[in-house]
Amino acid sequence: MINKEFSEGLEFIRKYPKSVTIFGSAILPETNTHYQQARELGAEIARHGYTVVTGGGPGIMEAANRGALEAGGKSVGLNITLPHEQKQNPYLTDFYQFYYFFSRKVALTYAAEAYVFFPGGYGTLNEFFEIVTLVQTQRITPAPATIILVGSDFWKPLDDFIRQHLYKQHGMVDEEALSLYTICDEKKAIMDTILKVPVISSVPFEKK
């Protein structure tokens, strides 16, 4: 079952080689400012011809998918089967249902030109640190500043922790690691950053 999910998931995401993956909280309501930001950004990304890819659930994921769909773009969800949450949102043009977190994460990670993170909990932070690590270790190699953190009110304290505690105080990361991501709240600046990234010619893990 694991091998089947890996192969099917990668074959699914291979259909969308020009995409932006958006991460964020599953619990933020429509009235939340970050929900509205994600909805507007999803629409803008879709208008520029990119597929918007999310985890397919509610909250920020729903908002980004909703914006993409409303703009007439491709809105993709990579959902996960959980006992008590993660209901698929109604704004998807296509989706794949995963059972395993790790195979879903691979699909979310290896097919994007850019990764956009809105505020979220443990799951969002886990995804952020994993992608930063993959970029740092050159397992994935996007151009600089293609990991974008939206919501400076939320991300600035984490950035301060990384810079002051990990880098300056303890030397656990080098100076280069501080440039692996950028914090940005302005839709135009975010889109300008995404548009500078070369489009991936094909999804990794091609059959040999």
- The span from the CA of 69 to the CA of 63, in Å, is 10
| Per-residue confidence (pLDDT) for residue 208, from 0 to 100 | 45
Query: The CATH number of the domain where 166 resides is what?
Result: 3.40.50.450
Domain count, the chain: 1
- The span from the CA of 179 to the CA of 194, in Å, is 16
Q: pLDDT grade, residue 198 (50/70/90)?
A: confident
- The span from the CA of 169 to the CA of 150, in Å, is 26
Amino acid at site 45: I
Kindly report, residue by residue over 47-93, the tens digit of the pLDDT: 999 999 999 999 999 999 999 999 999 999 999 887 766 689 999 99
- The span from the CA of 110 to the CA of 35, in Å, is 25
Judge whether 202 and 128 are in contact, CB under 8 Å. Answer: no
| Per-residue confidence (pLDDT) for residue 86, from 0 to 100 | 64
Task: Please check whether residue 201 lies inside any domain of the structure.
Answer: no
- The span from the CA of 182 to the CA of 7, in Å, is 32
What is the three-class DSSP state of 106? helix
- H or E stretch covering 75: strand 75-80
Q: What is the mean pLDDT of residues 91-112?
A: 92
Kindly report, residue by residue over 3-56, the tens digit of the pLDDT: 899 899 999 999 998 999 999 999 999 999 999 999 999 999 999 999 999 999
**Dihedral of the alpha carbons of 3, 88, 16, 69, in degrees to the nearest 10:** 180
Task: Please check whether residue 177 lies inside any domain of the structure.
Answer: yes
53 lies in which domain range? 2-195
Task: Please check whether residue 182 lies inside any domain of the structure.
Answer: yes
| Per-residue confidence (pLDDT) for residue 81, from 0 to 100 | 82
Query: pTM value?
Result: 0.93
Task: Please check whether residue 128 lies inside any domain of the structure.
Answer: yes
Residue whose C-alpha is closest to residue 180's, from 123, 124, 118, 137: 137
